[in-house]
Amino acid sequence: MSGLWNDFNDAQSNANLIPKGTLAKVRLTIRPGGFDDPSQGWTGGYATRGSTGAVYLNGEFTVTEGPYARRKIFTLIGLYSPKGPDWANMGRSLIRGMLNSARGISDKDQSPQAQAARRIGGFADLDGLEFVARIDVGTDAMGEEKNEIRAAVTPDHRDYAQVMGTAAAPMAPTAPAAPTSTAQTPTAPATPGRPSWAE
């Protein structure tokens, strides 16, 4: 923190905002609302029912590493709205992205393993989930700017491995996931056989 306590010219108006578009690894904690509807699969007391009848997960996303480590972002994950399906669909889309991100699955992957990884036994499976989020800026009920999480970043994104912490060695951006043994191959010599310095 810079700035003296007698000069506030360099104080930022809303210094607690993380810039829009920042990618960060976050851990989701669901703040329980005590609302269950077993017919929908909402059990365990995780869901919250608002005064309008809307149902949501009250998400607290904590940045786990990087320059914004330990910062918290509060975002509601929509489950049901009496106004129509849009909010619930956005919530389902966000959760799908979170599962893809946390479990290292491409959004395009339709294999049985990927489909199984996108299923949860209940909201308890989401509590504590760590994934890469794209941080957004929205407004709260008072019209003040606040950070939000509307999208997760999946392995399809070029920065995913770096942010998730799975990038062991820098690889060519177009290289598909390959066994680690090929990542150690020197790239300089184009001639077959061992390079001159290895003989």
Please give the Cα distance from 11 to 27 (Å, whole number).
29
What pLDDT, in 10s, does the model give residues 17-71?
Answer: 999 999 999 999 999 999 999 999 999 999 999 999 999 999 999 999 999 999 9
pLDDT at 15: 60
Q: Say which range, 2-6, 9-13, 153-157, 169-173, has the weakest mean pLDDT.
A: 169-173
Instruction: To the nearest 10°, report the CA torsion of 109, 115, 116, 120.
Output: 120
Dihedrals phi, psi of 193, to nearest 5 degrees: 90, -175
Q: What is the pTM of this model?
A: 0.76
Please give the Cα distance from 123 to 119 (Å, whole number).
11
pLDDT of residue 173 exceeding 60, the answer is no
pLDDT of residue 9 exceeding 70, the answer is no
pLDDT of residue 187 exceeding 80, the answer is no
What pLDDT, in 10s, does the model give residues 100-154?
Answer: 999 999 999 999 999 999 999 999 999 999 999 999 999 988 989 999 999 999 9
Q: Say which range, 8-12, 14-18, 34-38, 98-102, has the weakest mean pLDDT.
A: 8-12
pLDDT at 145: 92
pLDDT of residue 168 exceeding 80, the answer is no
Angle at the Cα of 117 (from 116 to 122), degrees rounded to 5?
A: 90
Return the structure tokens found at 132.
């890469």
Residue matched to tokens 């904590």: 62
Report residue 176's pLDDT band, with 50, 70 and 90 as the boundaries: very low
Dihedrals phi, psi of 135, to nearest 5 degrees: -85, 130
pLDDT of residue 169 exceeding 70, the answer is no
pLDDT at 73: 96
pLDDT at 179: 47
All residues at 6 or more sequence positions from 81 whose CB lies less than 8 Å from its CB, including other chains: 52, 53, 54, 55, 87, 88
